[in-house]
Chains A and B, each alone.
Chain A
Amino acid sequence: MSARARVVLAVSLVASGCIAYHELPLPSPTSARPVPAALPGLRAGFGRVDITPPPGVGLAGNGPEGRRAAGYRVHLYARALLLEDRTGERVALVVADLAQVTPNLHRLTAARIRDSTGIGADRLVIAATHVHSGPGHFYAERQYNQSTSQVVGYDSAMVEFLVSRFARAVLDARRDLRPARVAWSATAVWGHTRNRSYEAFLRNKPEWTPPAPVTPGLDPTHRAVNPLWTLLRVDQRGVGADSAYRPAGAFSVFAVHGTADAPENELLDAGIHGIIERGLERHVDSLSRRGAGYHLVANGAEGDVSPDWPAQSRCGAPMLRPVVGPGGPRTPPTPWEWRDPAPAWMALCLAAARRYVNIAGDSLAARAVALFDSLGPGLRGDLRVGVAFRTLRLKGDPRLCPYPETGVSTLAGAEDGRTRLYGWRLFGIFPIGLEEGRHAIRPNPRDCQREKRVALGGLQRKLVVGEHGLPEIAQLSVIRLGDLLLGVVPAELTTRAGAQIERAIADSARAAGLAPRAVTIVGLANGYMQYVTTDAEYGEQAYEGGSTLFGPNSAAVLAEELGKLAASQVRAGASPANAVDSIAAYPGQSQAILPRRTAGPPPERVTRVVLSQACAGDTLVVRWRDLHPGRLVPADGPVLRIERLVADRWDTLAWDDDRELEIRAVRSLGARGYVWEARWHHPARAGPFRVVLVARVGLAEVTGDRVGCG
């Protein structure tokens, strides 16, 4: 061994030793044996819990461009639907407004609800909407905790924050279990989504046959998606004397990235999915007259599917520039800095993105409402439920690459959110593959990762990722809801990879005697193994190919495994015996990132007061003194409301879940509290207005002076 090789080996070993794994064994709760219900027929229950953390956490999903949350806009929620058929077969579906869901969140939630509901990990599906403006710091793999936003690190308090709320949502759904009638259907929604990796998509043979007739006039990228919106409508019977079945909620699946907000967004926000969820929920409220409606919007095979965001909604990544700093001619120069585009430009593009989120969200919600209403005549109470589940160990599977590796195109970012590294060239001249396709493709494929130009080559695993830094397992399931099969995968499948897996599930199910009317992928569920492309798409090494961790055979392996799970469901509807294997998380050392409930002075030592109210154009700006983030947790309940004086009465116009209301934590006042700011956009609504700080534990309600905007 040469001296150089010895040095490299020594450095590698030392560096590998420095990567802390902190192995956390996860529970393996298995579901109880189904017990036929006392009442015949289907029962359903809903639950919903606010999961909006306080500002200060990183916004996960945009890698180095993900900001620290300065505040929040539309709240994040976890919504749960629990279904139980006449044989006692149960499944709990949870959809959370997060970028991803991880195995630790899934297993820990299952352990929390197992005794009360009989539902273990095998019958629990937790899916993410994939919104890119939710918190991180909960990942089961260290590398994701280090790279999903500018705020790096794992925080076990964030895991507990989310798990406790997921569990509460499921337990609420269990308490809400009532006789129910359901119907499902799918409709094509064209024009809101487009394929962002069209060159890779075109590599597939045979050519794409859309699953529904195409709206005339669509350009090719808008046709290269799965436009099907699948919606399961649930009507519940009333309680006690109220025996009428009325609309209660729905479970939707639609493939669209949660990237309508600009990557530079600095607010926690449920994004386009938040608008869609609320759109149908308000409609259901109006129909049921029983209170809250529920709309769970899961994502489909959205890996290469972007919302049709306008170009002006993208600000542009920061650029590395020399800066003017204090000092003189002999002072060591000020270091270069990553500089954002000009603030005025940032404000314009963020506003454009928010406008798009609202408009597209409203439009998609209207489609969901129409589909929901169309299902009324077909409602039935005899839905059969079944679940087949398994834990696939990706690492070491001979059909896959031996360990996960990330390509250089991943570092450059997808079209929705290019990172600051996109297009970077060595000395401005020599390409190093930080792009999609082209130089990201290895010219002479020679190993398992084939065309993937692995970022940092062999050093990625040795020096950066470590032995357990990326996913090693995939929890897969096939859920039977009558003649609808859901293929649940912990990945972002491209359109064609999704179609490949749906076809495998359908073929296997039919071979086993089932007759599914449709198969739909529910992606980003029960874990996260990044992207999965087809073998052909992988050769293009677009962002999705670079992020297919286990190589080009990944889609084929998932198709095979999910096909087997589908086949294990028998015509009678009974679920197979689902084993729940032992797994572990490797998240890294826990740090205090989520603001703690001990932050700042306690409520009795803070005088909550409105500091200022002013109108800037059509925006009301209010500043007030309150508790520190950590003690003021948006998930605990509304913080303020805006009222307008009509005649002699103050009517509530908005509260802090309104899409036009932004709330920011501005600055600490130390022992006197924290300055918060609300900006409420009120187009075409004239005042006078006033702000009311809602009473909370230990804090009385505070009403601001009237302010006459407009």
Chain B
Amino acid sequence: MPRLRLFLAAAFLPAVGLPSPACAQVYLGLDATLSSPYVWRGVTRANGWVVQPEGFISLKAGGGFLSGGVWTSYELGNAGPNDLSDLGTGGAGLAELNYWGQATWSLGLVHAALGGIRYTFRGTAPTAGRTRADNTTELYVDLRGTSKYIVPGVALWLDVDRVRGAYIEGSITVPVLANPLAAPFFGLITRAAVGYTVGQEGAYFARAGVTHVDFAASTDVTLRPLRVPTVLRLEGHVQFSSDDATRPTSARPSDARRGDKLWAALALRLSPRVVSW
């Protein structure tokens, strides 16, 4: 029986991307995104400047990664009465802290990610967008195809804690052009995504169904100063909202019914390989 368990474990572990001792590598990652406003699944959570640093550790084995990390969101300015903010009026500082774990594989023409994320919030003001009472946990699966021009993707996020219900996002990513020379990489990528929710009306959204459509363009510049892969990413979004929860762009009543919004983000990401064996 122990041998059978060992055999099953040996057969199963590679399938979830756990390392084989022969060729594993450990990566440490640091990244930070600066955005304004902070938009999450089409919902404007903060309409001021937000910086979102993250740290993670990843173990690469075979064709996949096992990763775990901590992601945070800091609201940089004190929100006014007409602003949207997770911390609420007058607040600035740490608003959200997420813990996550993820396994990622490449399965030929499909990339798959499976993981879980714990959302915790620090808002305490009466006007806070998110408070401790909103803490919750989600499991998710993200599938992306690969082809020369069009990369379809679908992601399912299932709340298993407070909210229940699911959020589904379908997307199509199209590279417009990229530097034909190998380095430094420079790419212009466009993406269209549509959000759909089931069972989360009343929590995040006003009703079930399509929440929003998002069109994004991003440029990636990859450099290797000191041999550390460093990516500078600038992305801009145009969003068309179809749910009352995704429409507001500020707390002003006049912005509560906006059908469209623009937002942008600048991200810097470093992910050096620190151990290899």
Contacts and interface: CB of A to CB of B under 8 A. Distances in A.
Contact of B29 (A323, A327, A333, A421): A327
Nearest to A335: B220
24 contacts: A320-B148, A322-B146, A324-B104, A325-B65, A326-B65, A326-B271, A327-B269, A328-B54, A328-B71, A328-B117, A329-B140, A330-B71, A330-B98, A330-B100, A331-B54, A331-B71, A334-B231, A335-B187, A336-B187, A336-B220, A338-B185, A419-B180, A425-B149, A427-B190
Contacts of B144: 322
A549 to B, nearest CB: 20
Given A324-B64, A335-B231, A329 B100 contact: yes
Given A324-B63, A427-B174, A332 B149 contact: no
Contact of A329 (B29, B115, B149): B115
A152 interface: yes
Report whether over half of chain B's contact residues are helix, strand or loop; otherwise say mixed: strand
B187 A326 contact: no
Contacts of A63: 180
B136 interface: no
A332 B100 CA distance: 14
B176 A427 contact: yes
Which interface class (under 10, 10 to 19, 20 to 34, 35 or more) fits B? 35 or more
Contact of B271 (A150, A324, A327): A327
Contacts of A329: 100, 102, 113, 115, 117, 140, 142
A319 B180 CA distance: 10
Nearest to B71: A330
Contact of B56 (A64, A326, A334, A411): A326
A453 interface: no
Contacts of A321: 146
B149 A427 contact: yes
A213 interface: no
B151 A322 contact: yes
B33 A319 contact: no
Interface string B111-150: 1010101000000000000000000000010101010111
A-B pairs with the 3 shortest C-beta distances?
A: A428-B149, A326-B58, A335-B220
A428 B54 CA distance: 34
B189 A336 contact: yes
B175 interface: yes
B190 A421 contact: no
A331 B69 contact: yes
B173 interface: yes
A435 to B, nearest CB: 14
A325 B67 CA distance: 10
A320, A419, A424 pick with most chain B CB within 10 angstroms: A320
A144 to B, nearest CB: 14
Given A326-B58, A327-B56, A424-B177, A332 B269 contact: yes
Given A320-B187, A336-B220, A328 B180 contact: no
Interface in A64-81: 64
A420 interface: yes
A686 to B, nearest CB: 32
B27, B52, B144, B148 pick with most chain A CB within 10 angstroms: B148
A337 interface: yes
B31, B69, B181 pick with most chain A CB within 10 angstroms: B181
Nearest to B102: A328
Nearest to B73: A330
Interface string A308-323: 0000000000011111
B68 interface: yes
Contacts of B63: 324
A150 B149 CA distance: 23
A428 B178 contact: no
Contacts of A325: 65, 104, 271
Interface in A411-430: 411, 419-421, 424-428
Interface of A: 63-64, 150, 152, 319-338, 411, 419-421, 424-428
A428 B150 contact: yes
Contacts of A328: 54, 56, 67-69, 71, 100-102, 115, 117
Contacts of A421: 180
B222 interface: yes
A242 to B, nearest CB: 55
Interface in B57-110: 58, 60, 63-65, 67-69, 71, 98, 100-102, 104-106
A324 B62 CA distance: 11
Contacts of B102: 327-329
Contacts of B31: 327, 331-332
Contacts of A419: 180
A412 to B, nearest CB: 10
B58 A150 contact: no
Given A325-B65, A335-B185, A335-B187, A330 B180 contact: no
A327 B54 CA distance: 10
B185 A337 contact: yes
Given A327-B31, A336-B220, 7 more contacts: A319-B148, A320-B187, A321-B146, A322-B146, A327-B65, A327-B69, A336-B178
A331 B180 contact: no
B233 interface: yes
B67 A150 contact: no
B23 interface: no
Contact of A326 (B52, B67, B111, B183): B67
A56 B143 CA distance: 39
Contacts of B69: 327-328, 331
Contact of A322 (B111, B115, B149): B111
B182 interface: yes
